[in-house]
């Protein structure tokens, strides 16, 4: 799944699941019953070690834990939870019979968000949990905003494809990954034919419509879990095809080219007949040579695209970069 597709609105469950760690079976049963009656889902365990195992296999937004427990106490559990890489923040409430300031400070410094002195007063427990839910709401909203900002920073605003910044960050990583695992890597340089004529004859708004639909048709023609499209500049797009050797890349380019040409693009100025030219650059089937750099891969695709233009447009030209050529390109 691409980064763009993975971005969805992040929401907090209407009733967050609580992980309850309490070694006394009667207290555990009574608290579980009470919390469920208050509208929470509850999973209960007998000690901190069991709770930590649960946390490592599933994300629990809320943790209610006793301090005194066998195997791993509540303070050690809070410390361990704060060191885990989890899907979201965990609001941790520590239950303790220790009411000295030193013990309370120790619990908070261990990672607890709040504490309650035993025996627990049930309305106060619910009030603390409600405060915890507000903290979770704020944390999730912040994460969602940061995620949206990240997407905006790497996305072309007009077409929704990745922008050139993302391309120049991610393509070197793709190259290194394919080199490490001996996978082939291909890139397609695409250019909309006679795009200036579309802008001049139909207006820039119609040209924007064409760019948007071109990106959408290209995106719908590739594998959603690995391939990706970036806007290289103007009416040029670069499509990255990891684990795709030369012949397969040519097939993909021809598939997209045929889809572009098959159906006119509806625009605000009427239907526009659109074609595109493609340049394919691929590494060898056993992966990129050690000397091959990103700029050489892109330059090869661009040279192949230029050849497609010279030969009459609406066609695909390509080249497979073998080891010795990669060395010459590097030099």
Structure confidence by residue, pLDDT tens digits, 188-206: 999 999 999 999 999 999 9
Over residues 280-303, mean pLDDT: 94
Q: How many CB atoms lie within 10 A of CB 147?
A: 16
Over residues 284-306, mean pLDDT: 94
183: which residues sit within 8 A by CB, 6+ positions away?
177, 242, 243, 287
Token pair for 289:
């040579």
CB 254 within 8 A of CB 143: no
Question: H or E element: which one contains 231?
Answer: strand 228-233
Specify the pLDDT at position 97.
Answer: 83
| pLDDT tens by residue, 32-65 | 999 999 889 999 999 999 999 999 999 999 999 9
The CA distances from residue 114 to 5, 43, 44, 128, 205, in Å, are 37, 20, 19, 8, 56
> Taking Cα atoms as reference points, which of 26, 24, 21 lies closest to residue 90?
21
Specify the pLDDT at position 285.
Answer: 92
CB 94 within 8 A of CB 118: no
CB 241 within 8 A of CB 227: yes
Specify the pLDDT at position 323.
Answer: 65
Domains, the chain, with CATH or none? 3-153 (3.40.50.2300), 164-330 (3.30.70.270)
324 or 268, higher pLDDT: 268
Instruction: State pTM to two decimals.
Output: 0.66
2: which residues sit within 8 A by CB, 6+ positions away?
224, 225, 228
Specify the pLDDT at position 46.
Answer: 94
- From the candidates 50, 235, 236, 245, give the one annotated as an active-site residue: 235
DSSP 8-state secondary structure symbol assigned to residue 36: H
How far apart are the C-alpha atoms of 118 and 98, rounded to whole Å? 8
As a whole number, the mean pLDDT across the chain is 90
Query: 3-state class of 82 per DSSP?
Result: helix
Query: 3-state class of 54 per DSSP?
Result: helix
How far apart are the C-alpha atoms of 151 and 245, rounded to whole Å? 29
Active site (annotated) includes residue 102:
no
DSSP 8-state secondary structure symbol assigned to residue 148: H
Specify the pLDDT at position 10.
Answer: 39
167 or 150, higher pLDDT: 167
How far apart are the C-alpha atoms of 322 and 292, rounded to whole Å? 9
Q: In what order do the strands lie in the sheet with 185-192?
A: 228-233, 236-242, 185-192, 276-282, 316-320
**Residue 17 predicted with pLDDT over 50:** yes
């Amino acid at each position: 799944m691409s980064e763009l597709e993975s971005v969805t609105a992040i929401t907090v469950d209407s009733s967050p699941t609580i992980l309850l760690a309490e070694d006394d079976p009667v207290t555990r049963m009574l608290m579980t019953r009470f919390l469920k009656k208050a509208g929470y889902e509850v999973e209960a365990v007998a000690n901190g070690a069991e709770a930590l195992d649960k946390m490592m296999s599933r994300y629990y937004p809320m943790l209610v834990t006793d301090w005194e427990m066998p195997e791993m106490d509540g303070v050690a559990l809070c410390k361990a939870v704060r060191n885990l890489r989890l899907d979201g923040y965990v609001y941790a409430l520590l239950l303790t019979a220790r009411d000295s300031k030193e013990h309370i400070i120790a619990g908070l410094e261990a990672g607890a968000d709040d504490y309650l002195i035993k025996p627990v007063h049930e309305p106060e427990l619910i009030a603390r949990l409600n405060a915890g839910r507000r903290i979770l709401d704020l944390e999730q909203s912040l994460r969602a905003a940061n995620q949206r900002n990240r997407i905006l920073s790497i996305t072309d605003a007009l077409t929704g494809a990745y922008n050139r910044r993302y391309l120049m960050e991610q393509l070197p990583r793709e190259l290194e990954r394919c080199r490490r695992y001996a996978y082939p890597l291909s890139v397609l340089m695409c250019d909309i034919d006679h795009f200036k004529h579309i802008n001049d004859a139909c207006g820039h708004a119609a040209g924007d419509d064409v760019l948007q639909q071109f990106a959408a048709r290209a995106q719908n023609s590739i594998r959603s879990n690995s391939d990706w499209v970036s806007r290289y500049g103007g009416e040029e797009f670069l499509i990255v095809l990891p684990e795709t050797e030369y012949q397969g890349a040519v097939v993909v380019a021809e598939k997209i080219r045929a889809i572009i040409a098959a159906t006119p693009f509806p625009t605000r100025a009427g239907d526009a007949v659109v074609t595109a030219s493609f340049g394919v650059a691929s590494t060898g089937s056993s992966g990129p040579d050690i000397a091959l750099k990103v700029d050489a891969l892109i330059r090869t695709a661009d040279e192949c695209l230029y050849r497609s233009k010279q030969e009459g447009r609406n066609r695909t030209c390509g080249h497979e970069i073998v080891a010795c050529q990669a060395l010459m390109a590097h030099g």
